[in-house]
Amino acid sequence: MTTDTAMATDVGRATKPAPLSVGYEFWVVLLLGLAYGFAFYDRQMMSFLAPFVIPEFHLNNTQVGALGSALSLTWAIGAYVFGRWSDKKGVRKPFLLGAMVVFSACSVLSGLATGFWPLLASRMLMGLVEGPFLPICLAIVAATAPASRRGLNSGMVQNLFGSVLGMTVAPLVSIRIATALGWRVSFFTAALPGLVLALLVWLTIREPAKPAASSGARQEETLGLLYMLRQRNIALCCVIGCLAVGALLIVTIFLPVYLTQVRHYDPNTMSNTVAWLGFTAPIGGVLVPGLSDRFGRRPLMVVFTALMALTPLTALLFHGSGLLMLVLLFTGWLGVGSLPLFMAVVPSETLNFRSTAAAMGLVVGAGEVFGGVIAPLAAGRIADSFGLNWPFIIAAVMALAAALVSMALVETNPAIVAKAR
């Protein structure tokens, strides 16, 4: 029996933690979902407030890009380093509380910045502490939820709350505050929800029980980077993360430019089209993981990572009615609901909930480095040389490649594994 098959089999017979009430499970999802949502809110604010910051600090395009890329880089480092540290210590809650307090402080520091370099330093520190935030949140959610709702709950925390607060509420609120009171006040006010939620986490969230170690795997081995990468599912999820996150960010970055410069949309039509896509993440983030709880992780990942290719291909090739184009763009972007599966659910189930934060951090880090730093920069350079069509060709190929890689995964859904034995 291969290592991966043994691990998948272990998932079906792993020791179950003591059952927790549905009410407490709901509270964990709600509170950690809000916590991650406001962490993502803080991360996204720099992009929305850039028009206010650029003239005051006299920033060029390279510096604006560096503010985003540097945060992605430190996010990747923090996701693995602090996730692994959390696993080694065997605790989640102290790391979660520390991250919430520090990223709230970093938002204040961003508002106090006097120039590019202090602002860059505050964003890099924010990325370092926010990187492990999602893996640790999802590790707590995975330990709290039964297998029948594990995918659904993870999807709600990552996609529902993150998308609504980070992609819908953040631009509306932060820009209005910046217009009325100044961009610095937007950063200051963004710190308050994180501090309030940290207090609620401290008072109401319990430290998850440590899982029993499965046969054939020593606890200390699971803490090693090389050990995790030797597990086929973990290595494949890292590759899928690079491809899917890269496709996601390339489309996100270049679609507004493509619609205005190539399709000649007016700014209002472009903004309405892009905003329409913003609603797909919370829908897909609940739909895809929820379906995976019933039908398995692997088939849902194959289908929905492939579906992501529909959005760039529609932007590139479809020239029919505007309504039908919106439907096709929306349908394709439901594929982002696969993110919680390869970032959280599959890694945690593969390792039977040992070293879950480190494993998730490894996958998130790989996606951040490649998808958040390398892929957009490379796509931009190619676009400068060969035209704006190329980023969408690259994104479609990356999404289809992610689907092909997903076909090689070993199924981890405990119910599906149990039926296969």
Q: Which among 308, 313, 306, 297 is positioned nearest to 331, based on CA atoms?
A: 308
Distance of CA 196 to the CA centre of its chain: 23
Provide the 10 A C-beta neighbour count for residue 209: 12
Q: By the 8 A CB rule, do 213 and 354 touch?
A: yes
End-to-end CA gap in the chain: 13
Q: Which among 367, 370, 375, 395 is positioned nearest to 258, based on CA atoms?
A: 395
- The three state secondary structure string of the chain is CCHHHHHHHHHHHCCCCCCCCHHHHHHHHHHHHHHHHHHHHHHHHHHHHHHHHHHHHCCCHHHHHHHHHHHHHHHHHHHHHHHHHHHHHCCCHHHHHHHHHHHHHHHHHHHHCCCHHHHHHHHHHHHHHHCCHHHHHHHHHHHHCCHHHHHHHHHHHHHHHHHHHHHHHHHHHHHHHHHHHCHHHHHHHHHHHHHHHHHHHHHHCCCCCCCCCCCCCCCCHHHCHHHHHHCHHHHHHHHHHHHHHHHHHHHHHHHHHHHHHCCCCCHHHHHHHHHHHHCHHHHHHHHHHHHHHHHCHHHHHHHHHHHCCHHHHHHHHCCCCHHHHHHHHHHHHHHHHHHHHHHHHHHHHHCCCCCHHHHHHHHHHHHHHHHHHHHHHHHHHHHHHHCCHHHHHHHHHHHHHHHHHHCCCCCCCHHHHHHHC
Q: By the 8 A CB rule, do 280 and 272 touch?
A: no
pLDDT at position 396 is 96
pLDDT at position 67 is 81
pLDDT one digit per residue (tens) for the chain, 421 residues: 444 444 444 444 444 444 567 889 899 999 999 999 898 888 878 877 877 888 899 887 667 767 877 888 898 888 888 888 887 888 889 999 999 999 899 999 999 999 999 999 999 999 899 888 888 888 888 788 787 787 788 878 877 787 778 777 777 788 788 889 999 999 999 999 999 999 999 999 988 876 555 444 444 444 477 778 888 999 999 999 999 998 988 887 778 778 877 888 776 676 677 767 767 877 887 889 889 988 999 999 999 999 999 999 999 998 888 789 889 998 998 998 898 899 888 988 888 766 777 788 888 888 888 887 888 878 887 888 888 899 899 999 999 999 999 999 999 988 888 887 7
Which residues does 394 contact at the CB level (< 8 Å), separation at least 6? 247, 250, 375, 378, 379, 382
User: Domains in the chain and their CATH numbers?
Assistant: 1-13+226-421 (1.20.1250.20), 18-208 (1.20.1250.20)
Q: By the 8 A CB rule, do 363 and 237 touch?
A: yes
Place of tokens 């199924």: 411
pLDDT at position 418 is 83
For the chain, what's the residue count? 421
pLDDT at position 312 is 94
pLDDT at position 20 is 61
pLDDT at position 35 is 92
Q: Which amino acid is at 245?
A: V
Distance of CA 267 to the CA centre of its chain: 28
pLDDT at position 306 is 97
Cα torsion 363, 365, 371, 377 to 10°: value is: -160
